[in-house]
């Protein structure tokens, strides 16, 4: 019994906004299954009473001084844009047709 | 001038200070070397000849004007393509960023420029630093200068190969699970992962934000220490930057005295799955440290065996979030924008076309690990294992000053050998990953060639948080003792590359 099915991988690809072809699904699904079996080993560790660590450093809410610093010009900010119009990023239509 | 490309950064500085060579001459020699051998090594994705020569000329002018310059001013460097450099193409090894020119410098790059270091160009890497061989680069594989049929390690294979091919005396890498240390080991060069937060991540294209650490690469310990000092230190632009003085790495590299240093050999990082030649060189190096006055004991870190599975949950989870920004809207590739397709469709088509297999695997794995119903079993549990690994380190450092292991279980493997076997590839990083999860400092130093294949072996040193200087203490001690044994540095045993043009 696989730890993840081809259909579940197709669902993950949709969630991750990646348009996978059938051939890629055939290739990636069994590999993901193997990887999930490997990472599943973490469940062997008895850690119920262990606090989680999200970060190597015990830091919270780091702020810097609230002072004006130079920032990118509109030209710089748009310099890598696939499409720009009137000093803005031009994007494809956002809404579905119906 | 005899071959300037064979010199260390320290030697090059002496030549410039004494007026025997200019930075322009030194930079040109390295550009010529790149032109001569990079067709077969393929360490560079972009060579910025014009920019490098202009930087070099500016340093020469400052020197002529009597300005006080830093110890690396005028020395050339190879920059991993994951750090932004204003106006210079930056791809992170991905098609999705092909042709992108960042509008700003990473903090590390700013500091390199401030130190007068000449940036030759951008080096090849696994796409978004996901890999251990550079085979995941969208722009082809880098070849190991010790054997062109083998991989140079990864993800920073380009930076380490550039050093081993004498294309640059210094390089910058980034280490998320071993991407500085493993290529260092595979190419017979020095690679240092500073304490997490010791070097700034601002302008580093993020893979896993809680693990990513930029660091120095060089052919000698002292060169690496000088570069470490140039790039390290507090940066208000990085919220996880440590606001403390930089450890005294240069002083440690100059002294290299291990007398009385307590060294712990990690029991769990050896044995089955480790190449005999790797273990032989490692144990000889440990013996050498004993002779030099170190006190060696064996220590146990029982949770290290779970570091690899925990890492492959934490990293993909963070990566899947970080890579969501590649949405075809503000920069990079855009596919299928035909006036009919929706933004979401364009996003899906762009990410399909712009990402390689490994990136897709890890994004989907991270999406899975974070999804409701799986979060506690996967991501939550991995974070607990992370705590246990930190505790293993803390317990070990009550008994010893540094921990040591081989840097990698094997030497460099043939190109193609593990390219489509993700699990075999992941196991390359068994020894290097625990440090990233705990956030402390570590490095790989060359300790000889394995008998089976005559390829370099890396000696891995792990120091506590913000005790980076201990790495250089051990590295420098080993380096000078081994050079005495061999009658020269390890790199002198590397085969000569054929000059193609």
φ, ψ (nearest 5 deg) of residue A65: -55, 140
Q: How far apart are CA B171 and CA B174, in angstroms?
A: 10
CA of B408: how far to CAs of B69, B181, B193, B291, B456, in Å?
38, 9, 15, 24, 11
For testing contact with chain A, the best of B95, B326, B381 (most A CBs within 10 A): B381
Query: What is the per-residue pLDDT for B10?
Result: 98
The residues of B assigned a catalytic role are: 80, 155, 179
Closest Cα of chain A to B361: distance in Å?
7
> What's the average pLDDT block by block, 10 residues per block, for chain B (501 residues)?
89 98 98 98 98 98 97 98 98 98 98 98 98 97 98 98 98 98 98 98 97 98 98 96 97 98 97 96 98 98 97 97 97 96 96 97 96 92 97 98 98 93 90 98 98 98 98 98 95 91 61
pLDDT of residue B1: 47
> What whole-number distance in Å separates Cα of residue B142 and Cα of residue B144?
7
A28/B306 touch (CB, cutoff 8 Å), yes or no: no
> What's the gap between Cα B6 and its chain centre?
21
Identify the structural domains of chain B with CATH numbers, from first to last: 4-304+386-492 (3.90.1300.10)
- State the Cα–Cα distance between residues B403 and B294, nearest whole angstrom: 12
* A94: chain B residues, CB-CB within 8 Å: 342-343
What local confidence, expressed as pLDDT, does residue B500 receive?
72
**Do residue B103 and residue A15 have CB atoms under 8 angstroms apart?**
no
Task: Indicate the pairing of strand B295-299 with strand B262-266.
Answer: parallel
- How far apart are alpha carbons B163 and B151 in whole angstroms? 15
DSSP designation for A74: H
- Beta-bridged to residue B144, according to DSSP, are B147
Q: For position B254, what pLDDT does the model report?
A: 98
Question: Mind telling me how many Å the CA of A98 is from chain B's nearest CA?
Answer: 12
CB contact under 8 A, B357 and A17: no
Is the distance from CB of B123 to CB of B45 less than 8 angstroms? yes
Predicted confidence at residue A55, as pLDDT, reads 86
Strands B190-193 and B262-266: unpaired
- pLDDT-flagged residues of chain A (< 70): 1, 97-98
Q: In angstroms, rounded to a whole number, what is the distance separating the alpha carbons of residues B141 and B148?
A: 11
As for the ipTM of the complex, it is 0.94
pLDDT in tens, B52-89: 999 999 999 999 999 999 999 999 999 999 999 999 99
Q: Which residues in chain B have Cβ-Cβ distances shorter than 8 Å to A20?
A: 352, 360
pLDDT attached to residue A96: 72
pTM for the whole thing?
A: 0.97
Q: What is the pLDDT of residues B193-213, one digit of tens each?
A: 999 999 999 999 999 999 999
């Amino acid at each position: 019994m696989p730890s993840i099915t081809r259909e579940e991988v197709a669902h993950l690809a949709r969630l991750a906004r990646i348009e996978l072809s059938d051939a890629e699904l055939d290739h990636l699904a069994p590999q993901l299954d193997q990887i999930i079996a490997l990472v599943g080993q973490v469940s062997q560790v008895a850690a119920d009473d262990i606090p989680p660590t999200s970060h190597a450093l015990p830091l919270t809410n780091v702020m810097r001084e609230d002072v004006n610093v130079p920032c990118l010009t509109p030209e710089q900010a748009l310099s890598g844009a696939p499409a720009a119009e009137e000093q803005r990023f031009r994007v494809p239509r956002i809404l579905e047709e119906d | 001038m005899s071959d300037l490309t064979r010199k260390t950064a320290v030697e090059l500085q002496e030549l410039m200070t004494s007026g025997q060579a200019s930075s322009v001459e030194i930079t040109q020699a390295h550009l010529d070397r790149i032109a001569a051998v990079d067709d077969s090594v393929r360490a560079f994705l972009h060579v910025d000849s014009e920019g490098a020569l202009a930087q070099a000329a500016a340093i020469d002018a400052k020197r002529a004007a009597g300005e006080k310059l830093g110890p690396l001013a005028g020395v050339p460097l190879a920059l991993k393509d994951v750090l932004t450099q204003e106006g210079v193409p930056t791809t992170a090894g991905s098609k999705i960023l092909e042709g992108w020119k960042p509008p700003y410098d990473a903090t590390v790059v700013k500091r390199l420029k401030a130190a007068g270091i000449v940036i030759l160009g951008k080096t090849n890497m696994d796409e978004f630093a996901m890999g251990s061989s550079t085979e995941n680069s969208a722009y082809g594989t880098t070849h190991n200068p010790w054997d062109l049929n083998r991989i140079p390690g990864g993800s920073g294979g380009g930076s380490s190969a550039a050093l081993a091919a004498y294309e640059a005396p210094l390089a910058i890498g980034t280490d998320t699970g071993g991407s500085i240390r493993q290529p260092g080991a595979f190419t017979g060069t020095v690679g240092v992962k500073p304490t997490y937060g010791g070097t700034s991540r601002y302008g580093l294209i993020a893979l896993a934000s809680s693990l990513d650490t930029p660091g120095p690469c060089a052919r000698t310990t002292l060169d690496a220490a000088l570069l470490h000092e140039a790039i390290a230190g507090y940066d208000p632009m990085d919220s996880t930057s440590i606001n403390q003085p930089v450890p005294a790495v240069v002083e440690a590299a100059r002294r290299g005295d291990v007398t009385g240093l307590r060294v712990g050999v990690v029991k769990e990082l050896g044995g089955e799955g480790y190449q005999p030649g790797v273990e032989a060189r490692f144990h000889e190096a440990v013996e050498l440290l004993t002779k030099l006055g170190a006190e060696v004991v064996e220590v146990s870190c029982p949770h290290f065996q779970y570091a690899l599975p925990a890492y492959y949950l934490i990293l993909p989870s963070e990566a899947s979030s970080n890579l969501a920004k590649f949405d075809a809207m503000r920069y990079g590739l855009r596919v299928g924008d035909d006036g009919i397709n929706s933004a979401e469709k364009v996003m899906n088509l762009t990410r399909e076309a712009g990402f390689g297999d490994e990136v897709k695997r890890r994004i989907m794995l991270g999406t899975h690990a974070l999804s409701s119903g799986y979060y506690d079993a996967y991501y939550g549990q991995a974070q607990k294992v992370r705590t246990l690994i930190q505790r293993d380190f803390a317990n070990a450092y009550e008994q010893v000053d540094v921990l040591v292991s081989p840097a990698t279980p094997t030497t460099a493997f043939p190109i193609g050998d593990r390219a489509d076997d993700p699990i075999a590839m992941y196991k390359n990083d068994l020894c290097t990953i625990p440090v990233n999860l705990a956030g402390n400092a570590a490095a790989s130093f060359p300790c000889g060639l394995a008998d089976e294949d005559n390829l370099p072996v890396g000696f891995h040193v792990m120091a506590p948080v913000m005790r980076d200087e201990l790495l250089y203490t051990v590295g420098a001690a080993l380096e000078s003792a081994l050079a005495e044994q061999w009658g020269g540095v390890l790199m002198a045993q590397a085969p000569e590359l054929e000059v193609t043009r």
